[in-house]
Amino acid sequence: MTTAIDKLATEGFGKSNLPYASISAGSMNKLVVRLGDHAIDLGKLLADEDLGEAEKKAVAAENLDELLKLGRKSWSAVRQAIITALEAEGSAEFAESISTDVSSAEYAMPFSPADYVDYYASENHATNIGKMFRPDEAALKPNWKHLPVGYHGRSGTIIVSGTEIVRPSGLRPGEGGIPSFGPSQRLDIEAEMGFVCGGAPAGTHVSVAEADEYIFGAFLFNDWSARDIQAFEYVPLGPNLGKSFASSVGAWVVPFEALKDARVEPPEREFEVADYLKDDESTGGPWGLDILMEVDLNGEVVSRPPYATMYWTAPQMLAHMTVNGGSLRPGDMYGSGTVSGPERDQRGSFIELSWGGKEPLKLKDGSDMVFLQDGQTVTLRATAPGADGETINFGDCVGTIVAADS
């Protein structure tokens, strides 16, 4: 007799990972957990495990929404129950019988987004964009190293990986300051990590030390950007239509608890941060994450952004998001902002990879790449170190560009 862990685990999708997704199951969806190439029906897997009624109801739901409401104690109990079930002697046959192959599954949003904040936490990315958008000013504004800069985004157009991306239209810069309306000609990606929260009542301020009690999990996130629309609209209030048309969430949500072995020190801070943002040993230590991302264009890896270079960490972003009394609800999520390293082949957007179009990216077939063309497919991937020498794989976050609506 064989355990499911022993038989089904693969590199990146073993015991130390066990991410969640929602897949189509006839007329409704179901919550699944991934082991190897198997998407296992979570409700059936845990039907006989020692869990409370609220937890059993949550794991038998269509997505993560019910589980997000329950909080860290329940999240940990469910994760331990999954491990117990998959490590039981003879569990392999049962797990296989209630599984769907991940390559044939049809994915739904893993959770229902509530509010959404997008940050700007990479110093390399912020510096590059500052140089291109404001060449006559300092690349970083004076506030950047004192707080995680972000803006409140649109949750209604957050979509699951695999959904086509319709080229957006809007007002674009024109000669003499007169804009023209039409499809974006500078369509771009933003390779990010996303984080989804739960378990908190409205009005709760979450400290850095408490953040891992409220961050449920992490996922790949592509915050597609129309750079020409963005450039015309963003002064003085920031992004709107240039960002709000589509943001892709990876189908698999990795439990934040699974990332403890990926913790690293963030870059050295230039200024002492405010007390509510301190992440020293007194607040549980820093939560930089050693996540290595990939940006794949039509089958060619064009960039490998290192998340470990991010100046601001996920707990700091959450602490900032709630310090003013802003509410936190199950399903609230936030993006890290584009992840870019110091090298050209570590930049997480095409505007950086081509330096605004002035230095086109040379592809393997000899063609030049600046901004996205209709028919092109972008795939984000990421891995991180897991427990016992294992690897955490975040799966893929995929989007294909289709022509603007006529």
In sequence order, what are the residues at sequence separation of 6 or more whose Cβ sits closer than 8 angstroms to the Cβ of residue 272? none
* pTM higher than the cut 0.85: yes
The answer on pLDDT for 121 being more than 80 is yes
The label of the residue with tokens 């933003």 reads 190
> Which of the 8 DSSP states describes residue 212?
G
Element (H, E) at 188: strand 187-188
Mean pLDDT over each residue of the chain, to the nearest integer: 96
Read off the pLDDT of residues 25-70 as tens digits, 9 standing for 90 and up: 888 999 999 999 999 999 999 999 999 999 999 999 999 999 999 9
The rounded percent of the chain whose pLDDT value lies above 70 is 100
How many Å apart are CA 335 and CA 116, to the nearest integer? 8
Phi, psi of 262 (to 5 degrees): -100, 0
Q: Which residues are catalytic?
A: 125
Mean pLDDT of 164-190: 96
Phi, psi of 335 (to 5 degrees): -105, 150
| Confidence category of residue 202, pLDDT binned at 50, 70, 90 | low
Read off the pLDDT of residues 265-302 as tens digits, 9 standing for 90 and up: 999 999 999 999 999 988 888 999 999 999 999 999 99
Read off the pLDDT of residues 332-357 as tens digits, 9 standing for 90 and up: 999 999 999 999 999 999 999 999 99
CA–CA–CA angle 192, 286, 70 (5° rounding): 70
Dihedral of the CA atoms 113, 309, 326, 276 (nearest 10)?
150
Q: What pLDDT does residue 201 have?
A: 76
